[in-house]
Structure 1
């Protein structure tokens, strides 16, 4: 029998009673083996392989051991093997193991089965499906399994990109938080998610939501928005809300809202913490220890993060071919220091050397430092990554992929994949399912095309036509002709282009029969430098943009850097360093380059704003 989350498991779900409603599930037995596996030499051998981190071999050993047992013990061992197969992202192996399960699983094994199905959905970025599959009510199952399911549900909610879904999950899991400061952080994160909603989406949510706690949060947020400029009206609205929700967890926030507050667009510390539950990367088949709220969500041993960052070493290319980039980054770092971190002392080093380890070593030996920002070039970050463990937490300002070696090394930069994923989600949320992809025929174009296509198609979208253009081959008029042939079959266009390419292509798309087809793009279509005469040609494009560009444009100020986005990256780099102790626990920084959060393997990701051009200038759009 083939068991996959793509295939209905309704029969099993009904049998379970939505995971625990009517079926009593036995409490964990007092065994030495926390995984609740049957005893036996074969199982002990598999446990040993698992303890040594040999997950594939352990999965095979558990599966082989299952053949010795019968009934629920056999199913438990098969599920252990399948779970390890999911952990190493081997879907085919997972399906082989699951196909060997018996047709009737007991209550606990059925929960484990649904957990694995949810993990498969997460593996395929089907986040809403993962939440549907992962059980909600799991009272009575082993503590380790409970924590794994809670963690998987939170990951799915966070990855969905839907503020309502994440706020709902934060509310559902709040009962697990016993310490008051964790509860407060959870409330802050719920509020932060609701703040992300546009007025239209907030109204829609208030009309559709039935969960009373979530409805209370939504109503309070709505009241703040409609009466934020009238203190008397705000106070009356809050009093009425408190009468309707006398025991609501947001009452503490409501009390503080009685006083008029000032909204600061860029805060020097991590704002609106988004830490519902510390969320470790699961590396073992079973979590059996309580989560330490002070431990980062990342695996591996990292240098301790000081509570206060006072001394920072800056390592950037200040001479040589990359000096203009290094100077832009340094300019941003210095601006952030002046505006928000005047107490931080900086030592600056030029990375224009063949031996970055020598430069790094000098920065360490010159005197005590709390954090290192830099280097920028990928080859130098790669050199540092070969060090087993860096002595000081270090923020590389670029990406080299998954870090296999050095602990204490973080990656942060202007990652194009952050934007393509955001564009794909936006287009799908807008109902665009059949689209055209227009990208340059270059390594950069292929990178954006592959990233966008993967994110778009794995969530139900379909690319009807992909056009790879180049100066030597396809002309810009050829793009228009190809799209006209498919205009009745597509409902949107994804465009990857440099500023000059976008200014040449968009005027051809924003006219005639193609004008009604929306065009979406990443921030690469705009240099960030104001020029209304040239940028008028970008009218009609919806694109991702960093908050700094929109803020400067709104004020009508000129950019004081040749590379404004790199300058903004420098600003955020210092603020990330200052707030890293909170960021590693899952909090977000509302930065100049976007909303910044940390992901697996110490990689920082950004959520950008949405913008369009009006009269040749970029203006922000609501979510």
Structure 2
């Protein structure tokens, strides 16, 4: 079987050269059942040769299905490689459902560097086919150093197309943003939050934050809670509006938000979601999107560091979709401000002894030219990474986002984070200063709830004015032109394992 597999690769590579915009990948496989567009399987056999033939006949959907069917007989990483081929072809015809069906069959935990980059490329290709070049640019793999020349060429091709479509600009290009729905006054707020299921405790913490803010700044306003899991988001939104809500806050999960946006004609009152659907092409006038986006913090670090003259950076990020997102956001903002990312070093997403090698590789690649390190990491990852960086390059400043701090004080373990400069929300700093931080299970979610109430109450003044700003507990808040809520945070550092605010 193995010689036949290599023959298929060579045969397929030759075919690829004949295609103006190469869609096929170099690597294929043999037979099993073929899934339909709904992910179900139909009976039949498929081989790489059959899939190749279907593609050359212009039957791209059938070819994608055949490649996916053929993948089952191969071990990791070949299996994932072939599934990603199927996903790429599905993305090339703009079939989001089929593409996402295939991508869901590729667990992030088994992806090597090449396949991880290919997965990001497929997502970017789909975004471009759906006329969202800004999302495509954000999604493309950020580190092209260690991928094959063929994939690198494809990534650059998509990047050029996306940049041309976006006119060289970022933001919400490709999105149809309707005129903002701005309430004249807000006296009744509905909270569309989970009161059951996996997100129950988070939903309750957000609601507690809303109630706390109402008691302190909006005692004349009522907040009514609706369980989004009882009957679904659409039914609960309609019920809230029928009962007189001026603004609906929530939902928290993307699935419920997608249900509401699937019927935008039902949105008769402003909706302040607590999550983002960044691939939404049409943004209803009622929709405002709010959440604790890590990309916002990465961009703020990029802006602050370049302003301080730190214009050559090493980026260290976990090998995960989250790591890819935050690294790409930093790189884009850093370069836009005149900075140069010298090296993007991906490290294992789980705590590993390999971190030392990752640090040494990053420093060796930059040969002393870096003026800073941007570290995307969880608390456990940062506790291992920071001492290694301090030992290898003690004079190199390290910047990070709030994700390095759990939100609960732990000086014994967090002493390893001493010296890192990172973005932090005002509510956490306040809690540290008055000793109340550990009273909350999810302090940042509590602050999110407080600011959801603040934003909802102030929509009449800030909803249609991107220059207006309110000072919240998750940062200084303004409503961008696409009605995504943008936040500016404080900077903090660790001293003896405890975060302290830094002068701005």
Q: TM-score, normalised by structure 1?
A: 0.51
Give 2:251's aligned residue. 375
Structure 1 residues 472 and 301: CA distance shift in structure 2, 3 A: closer
Residue matched to 1:498: 378
Residue number in structure 1 paired with 2:193: 316
Match of 2:321 in 1: 443
Q: Deviations over 1:44-94 (max 9, x none)?
A: xxxxxxxxxxxxxxxxxxxxxxxxxxxxxxxxxxxxxxxxxxxx989xxxx
Contact kept, 8 Å, 1:496 with 1:521, in 2: the verdict is yes
Matches within 5 A, 1:16-31: none
What number of residue pairs does the alignment pair up? 338
Q: Give the C-alpha shift of residue 548 in structure 1.
A: 0.6
Map of 1:394 onto structure 2: 271
Q: Which runs of 5+ in 1 are unaligned?
A: 1-87, 91-119, 127-158, 160-280, 284-297
Work out whether residues 385 and 403 of structure 1, in 8 Å CA contact, stay in contact via their aligned partners in 2: no
Is the Cα–Cα contact under 8 Å of residues 177 and 282 in structure 2 kept in the other structure?
A: no
> Per the alignment, in what secondary structure is the counterpart of residue 305 of structure 1?
coil
Native 8 Å contact 2:437 2:443 kept in 1: no
Query: Match of 2:307?
Result: 429
Q: Which secondary structure does the structure 2 equivalent of 1:437 belong to?
A: strand
Shift of 1:123: 6.0
Q: What CA distance in whole angstroms lies between the structure 2 residues aligned with 1:449 and 1:355?
A: 35
1:559-611 deviations in whole A, cap 9, x for unaligned? Answer: 32221111101000001011111112231010000011111221111011111
- In structure 1, C-alpha distance between the alignment counterparts of 2:240 and 2:338, rounded to whole Å: 50
For residues 428 and 397 of structure 2, the distance between their equivalents in structure 1, rounded to whole angstroms, comes to 23
**SS of 1:392's equivalent?**
coil
How many angstroms apart in 2 are the aligned matches of 1:345 and 1:472? 46
C-alpha root-mean-square deviation of aligned residues, in Å? 2.8
3-state secondary structure, aligned to 2:216? helix
- Compared CA separation, residues 388 and 352, structure 1 to 2 (3 A): closer
CA distance in 2, matches of 1:482, 1:449: 17
**Over residues 211-250 of structure 1, what are the superposed CA-to-partner deviations in whole Å (9 max), with x where a residue is unaligned?**
xxxxxxxxxxxxxxxxxxxxxxxxxxxxxxxxxxxxxxxx
Change (3 A) 1:403 1:396: farther
Give how far 1:532 is off. 1.3
For residues 441 and 600 of structure 1, the distance between their equivalents in structure 2, rounded to whole angstroms, comes to 32
Q: Indicate yes or no: 2:492 matched with 1:611.
A: yes
Query: Which SS does the other structure have where 1:559 is aligned?
Result: helix
Name the CA distance, whole Å, in 1 between partners of 2:352 and 2:435: 39
From 386, 396, 399, the equivalent of 1:517 is 396
The answer to whether 1:384 aligns with 2:260 is: yes
* Matching residue of 2:206: 329
User: Could you tell me how far 1:502 is from its partner in structure 2?
Assistant: 0.7
Alignment of 1:216-235 (within 5 A): none
Q: CA separation of 1:327/1:487 partners in 2, compared to 1, >3 Å: closer, same or farther?
A: farther
Q: Which runs of 4+ in 1 moved over 6 A?
A: none
- Corresponding residue for residue 548 of structure 1: 427
More deviation, 391-400/467-476: 467-476
How far, CA to CA, are the matches of 2:460 and 2:353 in structure 1?
50
1:480 Cα shift?
2.9
In structure 2, how many angstroms separate the alpha carbons of the residues matched to 1:473 and 1:622? 34
After superposition, give the CA deviation of every residue in 1:378-400 in whole Å (9 maximum; x if it has no partner): 11112212223411111000111
Whole-angstrom distance in 2 between the partners of 1:405 and 1:553: 38
1:362 aligns with 2:239: yes
How far apart are 1:124 and its partner, in Å? Answer: 4.8
Distance in 2 between the 1:354 and 1:465 partners? 49
Question: How is 1:176-255 mapped onto 2 (pairs within 5 angstroms)?
Answer: none
Q: Per-residue deviation at 1:487? A: 5.1
- Classify 1:552/1:305 alpha carbon distance in 2 versus 1 (closer, same or farther; 3 Å): same
- What is the distance in 2 between the residues matched to 1:604 and 1:301? 16
Between the aligned partners of 1:377 and 1:282, the Cα distance in structure 2 is 25
How do 1:36-75 residues align onto structure 2 when only pairs under 5 Å count? Answer: none
> CA separation in 1, counterparts of 2:345 and 2:180?
45
| C-alpha distance after superposition, 1:300-345 (max 9, x if no partner) | 34445123x2111111011101112111111111111122112111
Question: CA 1:421–1:478 in 2, change beyond 3 Å: closer, same or farther?
Answer: same
1:387 touches 1:405 (CA, 8 Å); kept in 2? no
The structure with the larger Rg is 1
> Which residue number corresponds to residue 175 of structure 1?
none
**Partner of 1:539 in structure 2?**
418
Cα distance change of structure 1 residues 472 and 575 upon mapping to structure 2, 3 Å threshold: closer
* 1:372 Cα offset (Å): 0.8
Cα displacement (A) at 1:455: 1.4
- How far is 1:484 from its partner? 4.0
